[in-house]
């Protein structure tokens, strides 16, 4: 099904795999944007049963594309990108939602920025109303990304369409963390703007399999550690610290709290100078881990 819009301002790409309970709300939040000149591309990534049009709002701006087999979020986003007609491309995870002003604020900011600013993120809050950290990017995006990718780009990011022509689409070898890889490729070529207001609602969701995330971490190290080491040995240690922190998170989710603590200690020994927000997150997770034993 093709969009009826000849040239929308924004193409919204929503990948979905067997997550029909929240999809309609995500699509509805995209259609409710005050920026009306949009198309919403829903990519069914091999769901069982397949996504049917009657599950979605009846709106001519909605496009449905289907993968016969599950290929992963990176492949689904790439299908959306390749079929997008908009001047800008925005991403929305199928269990998240946008405030109605989100695209209007981003498009207005991007139209004021030079072409060297390739994309824009926003602040976000959790489904229970807790506001996340304000998105602080700064002029050196790579330095920011050495500390990890907690910008929630799968739902906050809007990019100029031609950025993908310049640096490529998402790497489909990644089952997880493809957004971190893509932003690390983006950062040497483009700047990233930020709308600080929390215009996105992030829902808690699973983090994929431990095996898939471990494979993604190995690929991130193989792909990016060399170029990062050329910046400085300090940058390489910070990046390796962040990879160790992600391994700690895997152990934590799997209930291996001792291994999680060891990986966390390894991360902190490599780079102990993380901010107060990081300390608060770690304290909260530690309390959650200890709660069942009380």
Give the residue extent of every domain in the chain: 10-202, 210-293
Q: Which residues contact 100 (CB under 8 A, 6 or more apart)?
A: 29, 32, 33, 34
The string of pLDDT tens digits covering residues 142-173 is 999 999 998 899 999 999 999 999 999 999 99
Side-chain-side CA neighbours of residue 245 (13 Å):
23
What is the homologous superfamily of the domain 10-202 according to CATH?
A: Spore Coat Polysaccharide Biosynthesis Protein SpsA; Chain A (3.90.550.10)
Q: What is the CA radius of gyration of the chain?
A: 19
Burial of 83 (0-12, 13-18, 19+ CB in 10 A): middle
- Is-above-0.85 flag for pTM? yes
11-15, 115-119, 270-274: which has the minimum mean pLDDT?
A: 270-274
What pairing do the DSSP bridges indicate for beta strands 88-91 and 191-202?
A: unpaired
Question: Do 119 and 190 touch, CB atoms closer than 8 A?
Answer: yes
Q: Cα–Cα distance between 35 and 102 in angstroms, integer?
A: 9
The string of pLDDT tens digits covering residues 106-153 is 999 999 999 999 999 999 998 887 777 676 777 899 999 999 998 899
Q: Cα–Cα distance between 15 and 73 in angstroms, integer?
A: 6
Q: What pLDDT band is residue 286 in, cutting at 50, 70 and 90? A: low
């Amino acid at each position: 099904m093709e969009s009826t819009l000849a040239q929308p301002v924004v193409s919204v790409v929503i990948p979905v795999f067997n997550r029909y309970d929240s999809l309609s709300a995500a699509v509805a939040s995209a259609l409710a944007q005050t920026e009306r000149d949009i198309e919403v591309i829903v990519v069914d990534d091999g769901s069982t049963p397949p996504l049917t049009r009657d599950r979605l709002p009846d709106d001519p701006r909605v496009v449905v594309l289907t993968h016969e087999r599950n290929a992963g979020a990176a492949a689904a986003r790439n299908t959306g990108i390749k079929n997008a007609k908009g001047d800008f491309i925005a991403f929305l995870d199928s269990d998240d939602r946008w405030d109605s002003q989100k695209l209007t604020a981003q498009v207005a900011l991007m139209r004021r920025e030079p072409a060297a600013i390739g994309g824009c993120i926003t602040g976000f809050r959790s489904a229970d109303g807790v506001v996340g950290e304000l998105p602080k990017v700064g002029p050196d995006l790579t330095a920011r990304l050495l500390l990890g990718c907690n910008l929630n780009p799968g739902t906050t990011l809007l990019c100029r369409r031609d950025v993908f022509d310049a640096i490529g689409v998402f790497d489909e070898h990644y089952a997880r963390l493809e957004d971190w890889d893509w932003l690390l490729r983006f950062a040497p070529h483009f700047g990233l703007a930020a709308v600080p207001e929390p215009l996105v609602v992030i829902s808690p969701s699973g983090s994929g399999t431990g095996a898939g995330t471990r494979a993604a971490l190995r690929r991130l190290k193989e792909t990016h550690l060399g170029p990062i080491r050329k910046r400085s040995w300090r940058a390489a240690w910070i990046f390796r610290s962040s990879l160790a922190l992600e391994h700690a998170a895997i152990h934590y989710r799997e209930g291996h709290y001792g291994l999680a603590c060891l990986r966390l200690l390894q991360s902190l020994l490599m780079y102990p100078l993380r901010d107060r927000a990081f300390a608060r997150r770690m304290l909260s997770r530690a309390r959650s881990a200890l709660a069942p034993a009380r």
